[in-house]
Structure 1
Amino acid sequence: MVILLFVALFVLFLINVPIAIALGLASVIVFIASGQTDLITLPQRMFAALDSFPLMAAPFFILAGKLMEHGGISQRIVDFAKSLVGQFRGGLAHVAIVSCLIFAALSGSASATTAAVGAILISSMVKNGYDRNFAAAVNAAGGTTGIIIPPSVPLVLYGVSAGTSVGALFIAGILPGIMIGLSLMLVAYIISRIKGYGAASEPTNIRKIGTSFKDAFLALLMPIIILGGIYGGFFTPTEASAIAVVYGFLVGIFVYKQLTLGVMRKILVESAVTSSVIMFIISTAALFGMILTREQVPQSFAGLIMDSALSPIMIILLINVMLLLIGTFMETIASVIILTPILLPIVTSIGMDPVHFGIIMIVNLSIGLITPPVGVSLFVAAQVGETKFEGVVRAVTPFLLMMIINVLIVTFFPFLSMGLLQLRQ
């Protein structure tokens, strides 16, 4: 039955059936083939998978991210980042990455981060002599931090799937996200020196930084309120997501005054569509997971790995390679939901903390956002930057290699993920 399950799934993927429908159809095919006709249990299982309080954080953070994206916050974040790093060689490339880091702490989404920052900066970079493909690639690479820097929707889903504290995962994602951002800035600096992009300008001054900080203060305050409230124990991640929506709405409509009725309609429609797609994937993935559990696939796979006499280092390297490959053709959210129950028993059996592994998984899968053929952030950046997908793929390669190095650093230096948690205890 397991073979039939994966063959059916592969065939459905091959004919471009959407992943949520493919997961559900493959599960139903195996369910019927096994001689069971009581199909009423399937929708019950799908509903049970969505009946989760922590899972409610996902649609709220999606809505909060949309409010931030359209509520006048993006430009203020870019201006603040420009005052900090705009004077260095390749300044606008650094501005893009720093802006992505800040916006990631607001949106929880890689595609939203890439779109919001790229819409402002790509055309500006081109006007200032940067290659269009490079400009798009910088924003695509920077946008990957959207699912690493908290609050992150994939981290919420991993926490639900693994039965792990979402708050702990948020804390664990801070240092790796910052490290990845700095490493991407290093790549941008080297390329800018080689290509002659963005000659260094006059150093900034405290007054300029202060002015831009004042303009962006309410935007920068949001992640402090949300994450500080979670870490301080004032509210749960789910409650924080609802607070983020209220905060984003109030700032956008009363302070920046850019949330008109037309904009709100667009925000609500986009948020509803995105949330429904995620929930559909989660519910059908629950059917897929039910069959895997019934056939004891996670236990068998874990036993196969453990009986292979591989060292713990080789096991985690093997898992990293698998995640990198899967991320190239499977959407991040689906990968998290499907793979977590399979891989978590293996890594815990070799002594790895589930929170540490969650960060490893998300950083791995973030690379898939800038890797063809799926490469969601690449498509977004190419569309926003009005350039060809193939050109962005070539330009993003150096950033892609740096991301792979980051995966190894996050894997073998657990203090990056666990350090802040240990200090908190």
Structure 2
Amino acid sequence: MSSIVLWDVALLITLMMIGVPVALTFVAAALFLIVMGDYGNTSFMITAGFAKTSSMVLLAIPLYILAGSIMTNGGIAKRLLDVADSLFGHYRGGLGVVTVVTTAVFGAISGMASSAVAAIGSIMIPRMVEKGYDRGYATSLVACSAVLALLIPPSATMILYGWVTSTSITAVFLAPVLPALLLISLFCFWNFVLTRKMPLVIEKKVSFKEAKENIFLKTRKAGFGLAMPVIILGFIYGGVTTPTEAAAVAVMYAVPVAFWVYKDMTWGSFYEAVWKAAQVTAVLMLVIFCATMLARVLTFEDVPQQILTTLLSITENKILLLLLVNLFLLMVGMFMEDVSGILLAAPLLMPVMNEIGVHPVHFAAIIGTNLGMGLITPPTAPILYFGTLVGGVKLPQVIKPTLVFVFLAYLPVVLLTTFIPELALWLPRLVTGL
């Protein structure tokens, strides 16, 4: 590995540590290679960037972002909350379960953890505080639950992974589903434990008949929103559309539902949704373009093979190698959001996975759960910081509950996913015949 690459990686890490936006850090790293690198004609890097960003597969990501933005402004998220509230809201700690379930569902449809924090957090955090929940705890629960967006299909992160590693996107969509269900269960369990001493306001219990009628009413009102993930995934796994075409279907479905069914969206809010989606997409494409240039140079310098050689020189034990890979992915997740983490880590570590016999679809679940844990692990924790902005709290107020969720929920799931391959492979094999 040449010294220029080492300096470039050091620049990338330093800029991230001092808080420079991720997109700008990748721009700086790419420019550093172009200006300082001794690669002759650097057009090969720019060509690689354009080739990747022009991929049809990537078109799915801005479309899912737009669908999620329309859902946020079109009242779909609020109705999903009402359904979950009718099911669990009358139990002690039930509002926390509502938050976990709704954030997971919304994050899955929008495909982005940050969208789930913004949409669900802005509604649920004030509601939870009103019902006696600690504000720091409520913020922590929303942020930790939002990371499930990386794992439940259709996930923008899994689309990127499949695209970067040339793995079936329909298969990698399903790989993290069982780990995600485990996480939801553990989050709900620890929610009941952590809220047992809080002065919660419990909704008055109603008769079974009244509860059933309320559930039916709320489900009927949210029916169009609840049908959205069923339609998207049904089209993909039914062979009707590709994941990219399904993303377009999601947008075409969300627009009339928001405008004419729920009637919560105006032309002004639609413009705002499109504008926000365009901003997110522009930043995302800039990151992908520059990260691709960086990855091209790293490949040119044979860095993935050198990483493989270095790890195998430490140990050839598969269990120890997987632990080292998990540690590396956790560090990546702590400093980068999921998109940048996938773009950087997947190409670097794939040779290691191939060498030790880890299936690419299994690795999708490993990298998804690890990066998700990194997003909420202090000291950097990008999604946790974003959650504090939405919740209006300071970071120390959310640290304690977050550490409980990380060490007693997320970490066990990461280890189970890593060392029990069937947890990731069973569902893809069942549905796609992997």
Query: Which TM class, normalised by the smaller chain length?
Result: over 0.9
Shift of 1:25: 3.0
CA RMSD of aligned residues (A): 1.9
1:78-97 aligned within 5 A:
78-97=81-100
1:177-192 to 2 correspondences below 5 Å? 177-192=180-195
| Cα distance per residue 1:400-424 (max 9 Å; x no partner) | 2121111112212222221112222
- What TM-score, normalized by structure 2, do the two folds share? 0.93
Name the SS of the counterpart of 1:88 in structure 2: coil
User: What residue is the counterpart of 2:422 in the other structure?
Assistant: 415
**Residues 1:316 and 2:322 are matched in the alignment:** yes
**Which of 45, 65, 70 is matched with 2:48 structurally?**
45
Cα distance in 1 for residues equivalent to 2:323 and 2:243: 31
Query: How far is the alpha carbon of 1:7 from its aligned partner?
Result: 2.8
Displacement of 1:43: 2.9
Deviation, structure 1 residue 13: 3.5
User: Residue 71 of structure 1 contacts residue 252 of structure 1 at CA under 8 Å; is this kept in 2?
Assistant: yes
Mean CA deviation greater in 195-204 or 370-379:
195-204
Q: Is the 8 A contact 1:90 1:198 kept in 2?
A: no
Q: Report how far residue 41 of structure 1 moved.
A: 3.7
SS at match of 2:122: helix
Q: Secondary structure at the match of 1:193?
A: coil
Among 310, 321, 343, the residue aligned to 1:304: 310
CA distance in structure 2 between the aligned counterparts of 1:307 and 1:380, rounded to whole angstroms? 39
Going from structure 1 to structure 2, the CA distance change for 1:396 and 1:42 (only over 3 Å counts) comes to same
* CA apart distance, 1:116: 1.3
Which of 18, 25, 28 matches 2:28? 25
- Gaps spanning 5+ residues in structure 2: where? none
Q: Provide the rounded CA distance (Å) in 2 between the counterparts of 1:201 and 1:189.
A: 18
- The one of 249, 255, 260 equivalent to 1:254 is 260
Deviations 1:206-246 (A, max 9, x none): 22221111111100100000011111111110000111011
- Stretch moving more, 301-310 or 141-150: 301-310
Q: Say if 1:382 and 1:409 are closer, same or farther in 2 by CA, change over 3 A.
A: same
Over 3 Å counting, the alpha-carbon distance change for 1:131 and 1:8 in structure 2 is closer
Q: In 1, are the aligned partners of 2:176 and 2:368 still within 8 Å (CA)?
A: no
- 1:281 paired residue number: 287
**Quick one: distance in 1 between partners of 2:235 and 2:158?**
18
- Give the residue type in structure 1 aligned to 2:223: F
2:45–2:297: 8 Å Cα contact kept in structure 1? no
Equivalence for 2:12: 9
Residues 258, 37 of structure 1: CA spacing in aligned structure 2 closer, same or farther, 3 A cutoff? Answer: same
Runs of 4+ in 1 over 4 A off after TM superposition: 198-201
Point out where structure 1 has 5 or more consecutive residues left out of the alignment.
none
Residues 53-110 of structure 1: CA distance to partner in whole angstroms, max 9, x if unpaired?
Answer: 1111111111111111111111111111012222332111111011112212311111
| 2:221 pairs with one of 197, 215, 226 | 215
Aligned to 2:247: 241
Q: Distance in 2 between matches of 1:306 and 1:319?
A: 12
Asked if the contact 1:27–1:291 (Cα under 8 Å) also holds between the matched residues in 2, the reply is: no
- CA shift for structure 1 position 258: 1.7
**In 1, Cα distance between the equivalents of 2:380 and 2:281?**
20
Give aligned pairs, total. Answer: 425
One-letter amino acid matched to 1:111: S
Residues 114-149 of structure 1, C-alpha deviations (whole Å, 9 max, x = no match):
221121111111111111111111111111111111
Alignment partners' CA distance in 2, 1:34 and 1:140: 40
Is 1:76 matched up with 2:82? no
% same residue: 35
User: Counterpart of 1:121?
Assistant: 124
Aligned to 1:403, which of 392, 403, 410? 410
